[in-house]
Structure 1
Amino acid sequence: MAEEPRRRGAARTDELLRVTLELATESGYAGLSIEAVARAAGVGKHTIYRRWPSMAALLLDALSRVWTTDLDYRDTGDVRADLREQFLRSVPALAAPPIGPVYRALIAEAQGDETLRATLYDRFLRTVEERTLARIVRAQLAGELVAGVDLTFPAEVLCGALYYRHLLSTRLPDEKAVDALLDMFMAAYGR
């Protein structure tokens, strides 16, 4: 039987990211190490360290590969319906492997690592907040929401409530929770 050719470059990187996600899903962050990834991928640790300086950096790149949830809001002219659709579309992605376990692990690790915390915000959370803010500002300009109010903090609250439920609560952000959140938002800012 012929030996499988050695993978290099992009193919090797893809393999390492795939193995990282598999191990993170199986054993969680606590059971994950550069050594474990190297062993599972059949490479030396130096192969991984040449690409990523830490386990957290490797996980961030692995998460980027599977974070495929469409973050663009539709604009149907009904801001509540558009927010609801987007939030309900995002919930399963955040709850299921591989994103759910990896994302929770990175959030936990980021609490003691300011650089990771900033990177996680810049690569993932900032986009969610900016797109949510853009959608509600468009609604404000169209007259669906009260004029003259800065909606930056309300956008953070909308996103933050769902992340809180997903990351810290034992209650999932289900339809009932999404509807209650949007009812509060519309009561405060709707016309």
Structure 2
Amino acid sequence: MSRRPDPTRRSEQSRQAIVSAAVDLCVEIGYAATTIEAIAARAGVGKQTIYRWWPSKAAVLLEHMTRVRETQIGFPDTGDLRVDLLAQTSAVQGLFASDTGAVWRGLLIAALSDDVAADGVRTLLQAAVVEAKGRLATAQKTGELRADVDLDMVVEIIYGPLYHAWLLTGRPLPEAYMEEVLSSVFDGLRP
């Protein structure tokens, strides 16, 4: 007796193939040159299969970024704020230097003119800011951080240099970049 194929399994395989194809193309040829047609051809599916799950290439790539955020980026709480900030910002710096960095850069640029990209980027960034502010609030309660600092501003002070250097200068960042940034600002944040 032969078994009927499981359409759920096949759909998940197609879904994974589509996301992988979109990421690979974005890394190889850039966000702007990546098209739904190219993603479909690389994944071995029809365009209608892609549009069944996502409204655009931005939505496909945002799914990848959401998975990355859920599995690779987190905010530790060892009880030492500076150690935790260094670990988390170094992880972000490493992500920027990886293939996923090319995807994120493309989405950030697309967010300027694409509502789907803008909403997705905003959602991912807001989740990251909430997580960072949660760790900073804990540091305020334990006396590691001045009680009067604006946590939104602290997040901008810490992550601004990383985004600036990565997006605007295009220069390779040394491994110790975030350690230097934190050293430059940390004394002003202490009580």
Contact 1:128/1:159 (CA < 8 Å) preserved in 2? no
Note the C-alpha offset of 1:184: 3.5
Note the C-alpha offset of 1:179: 2.7
Contact 1:94/1:100 (CA < 8 Å) preserved in 2? yes
Q: State the distance in 2 between where 1:174 and 1:134 align.
A: 28
Contact 2:86/2:179 (CA < 8 Å) preserved in 1? yes
More off after superposition, 102-111 vs 66-75: 66-75
**Percentage identity across paired residues of the two chains:** 34
Q: Which residue of 1 aligns with 2:108?
A: 107
Q: Which residue of 5, 9, 13 maps to 2:15?
A: 13
**Which runs of structure 1 show a deviation greater than 6 angstroms over 4 or more consecutive aligned residues?**
none
Note the C-alpha offset of 1:63: 2.7
Note the C-alpha offset of 1:175: 4.5
Q: State the distance in 2 between where 1:186 and 1:66 align.
A: 28
Q: Which residue of 2 aligns with 1:51?
A: 53
Give secondary structure in 1 for the equivalent of 2:32. Answer: helix
Contact 2:58/2:116 (CA < 8 Å) preserved in 1? no
Residue type of the alignment partner of 1:47:
T
Note the C-alpha offset of 1:159: 2.0
Instruction: Give a deviation string over 1:55-87, Cα, whole Å, max 9, x none.
Output: 1111111333344323122223x2112211221
The number of equivalent residue pairs is 184
Alignment of 1:107-186 (within 5 A): 107-122=108-123, 124-186=124-186
Residue type of the alignment partner of 1:11:
Q
Residue type of the alignment partner of 2:155:
A
Q: State the distance in 2 between where 1:89 and 1:65 align.
A: 15
Q: Which runs of 5+ in 2 are unaligned?
A: none
Q: Which residue of 1 aligns with 2:26?
A: 24
Contact 1:145/1:190 (CA < 8 Å) preserved in 2? yes
Taking structure 2 as the reference length, the TM-score comes to 0.85
Contact 2:59/2:116 (CA < 8 Å) preserved in 1? no
Distance 1:100 1:9, change over 3 A: same
Note the C-alpha offset of 1:108: 0.9
Q: Which residue of 35, 38, 42 maps to 1:36?
A: 38
Contact 1:91/1:174 (CA < 8 Å) preserved in 2? no
Residue type of the alignment partner of 1:169:
T
Structure number with the higher helix fraction is 2
Note the C-alpha offset of 1:106: 0.6
The alignment yields a C-alpha RMSD, in angstroms, of 2.1
Note the C-alpha offset of 1:143: 1.1
Contact 1:17/1:58 (CA < 8 Å) preserved in 2? yes
Give secondary structure in 2 for the equivalent of 1:152. Answer: helix
Contact 1:74/1:82 (CA < 8 Å) preserved in 2? yes
Q: State the distance in 2 between where 1:43 and 1:115 align.
A: 23
